[in-house]
């Protein structure tokens, strides 16, 4: 029979890596264990931080409507629909245990594949796929496009257009172009990609903007080369007054900055800095994003926005401990009202700003 003293001795004899694993294990027991019981309350507090509202029509005239399967139900006096605290959230109607959801969130923090998430959480692969995008749709609604101010670094990243997915069962899907051979490196294609030189219509342009206080924007804006109008659509009302934009020498930025009357500092090719004006943070962000995306072996374009938001979330909450992150990811994904349905996945389209 182990005693506290004997367990302490055993821990002493472990190496640093082992001790860290023990620490992580204890954190999980205390943080996540208590979290499972508090989950419902925390979600309620966050979802209804301004008072309880109807998830269908946002009306605040609601009343209690009995209990069903142990859960309090409400009815909206305006639209007459009933709902619970979890209606229009990822966990709504899920028969899986809260602990599995926490485990799943933890896998997402680690950036595991659909398959690995399924295995670790003890759910099926299709369920794993469904959970991932339910959570990410909700995270997208929760953090939104955002805004930036002050000194802002902006740059484009390109991702190859992809129709990845199981089309075998589909009777309606037609590949819009000939399939590419597999094995082309990475999903994130550099401007100097081998397959097609320059920027083709088969590349999806993602604009990333970052200010010096850590605000982030990561949005799909177009296919192929971007125009100043694409930039205007994205940034109109999302850049604070008196901002200074730092970009590479792409000429679309010039027209865009003139039209929106923003100060522009362009860094010439091969140059790194103009005093405090540079694009080093956004370049570092892009390398990190590229490296992170590589693990997924190409992402279907219709889900690309969700991956951008996944990474954006991880970057914003970068400094938290992993256990806290898992907890927050789950809470945040249950804060907004989002209606993700499995049957809509097939007809889903890429999300451009």
* Cβ nearer to Zn ion, comparing 57 with 184: 57
- For residues 319 and 343, give the distance between their C-alpha atoms in angstroms, rounded to a whole number: 37
Tell me the number of residues near Zn ion by CB under 5 A: 7
- Cα–Cα dist 115/109, whole Å: 15
Q: Which is nearer to Zn ion, 61 or 196 (CB)?
A: 61
Cβ proximity to Zn ion: between 81 and 278 the closer is 81
CB of 81 to Zn ion, least distance (A): 5
Q: Stretches 70-78, 116-124, 274-282, 335-343: which one binds Zn ion (CB under 5 A)?
A: 70-78
What's CA 214's distance to the chain center, in Å? 16
Smallest gap, in angstroms, from Cβ of residue 329 to Zn ion? 28
With respect to Zn ion, which residue has the nearer C-beta, 68 or 173? 68
User: What distance in Å separates the CA atoms of residue 289 and residue 190, rounded to the nearest whole number?
Assistant: 13
For residues 304 and 206, is the Cβ–Cβ distance under 8 A? Answer: yes
Long-range pairs for 274-280: beta carbons < 8 A, 24 or more residues apart: 276/151, 277/151, 277/244, 277/246, 278/153, 278/246, 279/153, 279/154, 279/155, 279/246, 279/247, 279/248, 280/153
Nearest distance, CB of residue 59 and Zn ion, angstroms: 5
Span 244-263, contacts to Zn ion by CB under 5 A = none
Instruction: Provide, rounded to whole angstroms, the least separation between the CB of residue 289 and Zn ion.
Output: 39
Closest approach, Cβ 76 to Zn ion, in A, equals 3
Tally Cβ neighbours within 10 Å of residue 35. 20
Question: Least CB distance from residue 347 to Zn ion, whole Å?
Answer: 26
Nearest Cα to 303, choosing from 267, 340, 274?
A: 340
Contact 342, 90 (CB under 8 A): no
Q: Closest CB to Zn ion among 51 and 70?
A: 51
User: In sequence order, what E strands does the chain have?
Assistant: 62-68, 71-76, 82-83, 151-160, 203-211, 216-223, 244-247, 263-266, 273-274, 277-278
Q: Annotate each residue in 28-57 with x if it binds Zn ion (CB under 5 A) or - if it does not, as one string.
A: --------------------------x-xx
Q: Which stretch binds Zn ion (CB under 5 A): 68-76, 165-173, 238-246, 329-337?
A: 68-76
Between 62 and 216, name the residue whose CB sits nearer to Zn ion.
62
Pairing of strands 71-76, 82-83: antiparallel
CB neighbourhood size of 105 (10 A): 25
Shortest distance, position 83 Cβ to Zn ion, whole Å: 8
Q: Which residue, 29 or 59, is less far from Zn ion as judged by CB?
A: 59
Do the Cβ atoms of 117 and 128 come closer than 8 Å?
Answer: yes
Binding mask 154-173 for Zn ion (x = CB under 5 A): --------------------
Q: Does 59 bind Zn ion (CB under 5 A)?
A: yes
Site string for Zn ion, 75-94 (x = CB under 5 A): -x-xx---------------
The minimum distance between CB 62 and Zn ion, in angstroms, equals: 7
CB of 52 to Zn ion, least distance (A): 11
Residue 99: CA count within 13 A, CB half-sphere: 8
Judged by CB, which is closer to Zn ion: 78, or 96? 78
Based on CB atoms, which residue is closest to Zn ion, 74 or 112?
Answer: 74
Contacting residues toward Zn ion, per CB under 5 A: 54, 56-57, 59, 76, 78-79
């Amino acid at each position: 029979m182990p005693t506290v003293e004997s367990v302490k001795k055993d821990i002493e004899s472990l190496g640093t890596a082992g001790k860290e694993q023990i620490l992580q294990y204890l954190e999980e027991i205390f943080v996540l264990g208590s979290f499972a019981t508090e989950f419902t309350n925390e979600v309620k507090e966050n979802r209804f931080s301004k008072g309880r509202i109807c998830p269908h029509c946002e009306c605040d005239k609601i009343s209690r409507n009995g209990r069903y399967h142990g859960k309090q139900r409400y009815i909206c006096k305006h639209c007459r629909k009933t709902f619970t605290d979890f209606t229009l959230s990822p966990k709504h109607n899920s028969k899986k245990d809260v602990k599995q959801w926490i485990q799943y969130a933890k896998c997402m923090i680690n950036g595991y594949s659909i398959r690995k998430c399924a295995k670790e959480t003890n759910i099926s692969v299709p369920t794993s796929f469904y959970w991932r995008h339910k959570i990410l749709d909700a995270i997208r609604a929760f953090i939104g496009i955002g805004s930036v101010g002050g000194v802002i670094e902006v740059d484009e990243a390109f991702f190859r257009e992809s129709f990845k997915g199981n089309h075998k069962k589909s009777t309606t899907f037609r590949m819009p172009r000939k399939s590419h051979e597999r094995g082309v490196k990475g999903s994130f294609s550099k401007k100097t990609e081998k397959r097609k030189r320059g920027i083709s219509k088969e590349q999806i342009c993602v604009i990333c903007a970052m200010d010096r206080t850590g605000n982030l924007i990561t949005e799909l804006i177009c296919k192929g080369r971007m125009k100043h109008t694409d930039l205007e659509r994205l940034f109109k009302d999302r850049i604070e007054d008196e901002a200074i934009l730092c970009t590479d020498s792409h000429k679309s930025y010039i027209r865009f900055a003139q039209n929106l009357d923003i100060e522009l500092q362009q860094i010439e090719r091969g140059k790194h800095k103009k005093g405090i004006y540079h694009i080093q943070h956004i370049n570092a962000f892009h390398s990190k994003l590229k490296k992170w995306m590589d693990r997924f072996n190409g992402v279907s374009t219709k889900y690309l926005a969700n991956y951008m938001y996944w990474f954006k979330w991880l970057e914003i909450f970068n400094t938290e401990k992993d256990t806290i992150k898992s907890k927050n990811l789950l809470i945040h994904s249950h804060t907004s009202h989002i209606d993700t349905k499995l049957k809509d996945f097939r007809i889903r389209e890429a999300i451009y700003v």
